[in-house]
């Protein structure tokens, strides 16, 4: 029997994502000047206020207030009427030195023997239902909000948008797990105040359906475009007026959107957030590594769908184990346990090896903090960072290295494909 599956996304202006972006901006600035920095930074945002807290071990000094304000302004919170803007909000820092008890379990005389920064399990997932090997409902949810943000910044076709927004997409699948059609789309967007609420709601609905959605569809591959039809149920700002939003409407915290950050409810999640953590924290680095494994396995033709789990003990170098689930889609006669053994031969999952393989000690994290950490484009960008003393550094930074299909040939060789 056909079934429905739903995923959601939130915009860069959502309060939790504002917090994530501030935390990851701090990570990038620490790593830009000291690649060995150990950072765990949490951010809270609310009406007119930002609170930074966490633990840091680094040789560099940062103006954390300036970094937070620049991040908020870049998102689009630049007006006093939002009750939260980068130029006037208060920024309180309670960041302190990392515990020696934690650090001694991570740092070693030999970097190759670096222990895991915490215990826990991490998951990576990939499916061949989209070109970027991501679940379709989540991919579309992200795309809707990315395009909505473009419209907001252009300020031409739609001129009343504010930064906070959410989306949700429901897809009908066949019994053999193939997307058949889009059943429903939900978009809630913050907006300027209007004199007439009913007129406002009608205009927003019309603009979302007739301007936003066609722009999204036009950028999709043809096999996804055909899933859109005139029978889609649209729920546009279903609660009505949405003027009060962002950190003024809802307090935001780092790490509260872990399903948006990963696979939209497909696969599994170990529970650990990513933003605000340097790559010695396996919550982050191993989640990226397992996505890298899953994506290369699917791209190599091992299976149509793959879930990878790895687990660690704090301070221990080798992972506790690797688990593979192909959901019965393996293309040849091999058990998931046998696949896991071969994966262990190909991918070194020691924490330092992950850092080296995926170049995780570079300041690549600000770009991950909105619209998902997975399924993004691997590209190299140039970034400039400045310290309070005037020292600046310009770096070429490779983004989303875990999305590379650089192990497909190795996987094919090991599996005889």
142 marked ligand binding residue: no
Burial of 125 (0-12, 13-18, 19+ CB in 10 A): buried
The secondary structure of residue 34, as a DSSP letter, is: -
143 marked ligand binding residue: no
Distance between CA atoms of residues 368 and 76, nearest Å:
18
281 marked ligand binding residue: yes
Vertex 63, ends 57 and 65: CA angle to 5°? 110
**Torsion sign over Cα 141, 265, 289, 299:** negative
74 marked ligand binding residue: no
Among 330, 265, 401, smallest CA distance to 128 is for: 330
362 marked ligand binding residue: no
Distance between CA atoms of residues 360 and 324, nearest Å:
24
231 marked ligand binding residue: no
Among 340, 307, 336, smallest CA distance to 322 is for: 340
273 marked ligand binding residue: yes
166 marked ligand binding residue: yes
59 marked ligand binding residue: no
359 marked ligand binding residue: no
Q: Quote the radius of gyration of the chain (alpha carbons, Å).
A: 22
What the block records as the tokens of 149 is 């943000």
367 marked ligand binding residue: no
165 marked ligand binding residue: yes
Distance between CA atoms of residues 182 and 175, nearest Å:
16
Vertex 123, ends 29 and 401: CA angle to 5°? 45
93 marked ligand binding residue: no
Neighbours of 320 (CB within 10 A): 14
304 marked ligand binding residue: no
Annotated binding-site ranges: 14, 16, 42, 55, 98, 164-166, 241-242, 250, 256-257, 273, 277, 281
Annotated binding residues for L-methionine, as ranges? 55, 98, 250, 281
- Known binding site for K(+): residues? 42
| Feature table: binding site for Mg(2+) | 16
Binding residues for ATP: 14, 164-166, 241-242, 250, 256-257, 273, 277
């Amino acid at each position: 029997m056909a079934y429905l599956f739903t995923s959601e996304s939130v915009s860069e202006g959502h309060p939790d994502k504002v917090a994530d972006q501030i935390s990851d901006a701090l990570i990038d600035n620490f790593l830009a000047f000291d690649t060995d920095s150990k950072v765990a930074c949490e951010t809270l945002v609310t009406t007119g206020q930002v609170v930074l807290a966490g633990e840091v071990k680094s040789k560099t000094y940062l103006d954390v207030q300036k970094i937070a304000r620049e991040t908020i302004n870049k998102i689009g919170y630049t007006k006093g009427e939002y009750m939260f803007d980068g130029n006037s909000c208060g920024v309180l820092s309670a960041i302190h030195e990392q515990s020696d008890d934690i650090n001694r379990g991570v740092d070693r005389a030999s970097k190759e023997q670096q222990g895991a920064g915490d215990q826990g399990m991490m998951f990576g997932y990939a499916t061949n239902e989209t070109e970027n090997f991501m679940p379709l409902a989540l991919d579309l949810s992200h795309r809707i909000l990315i395009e909505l943000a473009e419209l907001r910044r252009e300020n031409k076709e739609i001129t009343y948008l504010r930064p906070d927004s959410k989306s949700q997409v429901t897809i009908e699948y066949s019994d053999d797990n193939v997307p058949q059609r889009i059943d429903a789309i939900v978009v809630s967007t913050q907006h300027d105040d209007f004199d007439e609420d009913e007129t406002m709601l009608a205009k927003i609905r019309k603009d979302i359906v007739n301007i936003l959605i066609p722009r999204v569809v036009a950028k999709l591959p043809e096999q996804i475009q055909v899933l859109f039809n005139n029978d889609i149920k649209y729920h546009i700002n279903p609660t009505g007026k949405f003027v009060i939003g962002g950190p003024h409407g809802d307090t935001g915290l780092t790490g509260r959107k872990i399903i948006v950050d990963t696979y939209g409810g497909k696969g599994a999640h170990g529970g650990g957030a990513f933003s605000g953590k340097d790559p010695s924290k396996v919550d982050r680095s191993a989640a990226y590594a397992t996505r890298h494994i899953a994506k290369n396995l699917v791209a190599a033709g091992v299976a149509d769908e793959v879930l990878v789990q790895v687990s660690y003990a704090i301070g221990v170098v080798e992972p506790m184990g690797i688990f593979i689930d192909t959901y019965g889609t393996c293309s040849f006669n091999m058990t998931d346990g046998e696949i896991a053994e071969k994966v262990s031969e190909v991918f070194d999952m020691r924490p330092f090896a992950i850092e080296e393989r995926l170049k995780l000690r570079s300041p690549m994290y600000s770009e991950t903090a909105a619209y998902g950490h997975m399924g993004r484009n691997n590209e190299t960008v140039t970034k400039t960072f400045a310290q309070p003393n005037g020292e600046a550094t310009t770096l070429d930074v490779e983004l989303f290295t875990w999305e590379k299909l650089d192990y497909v040939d190795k996987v094919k060789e090991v599996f005889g494909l």
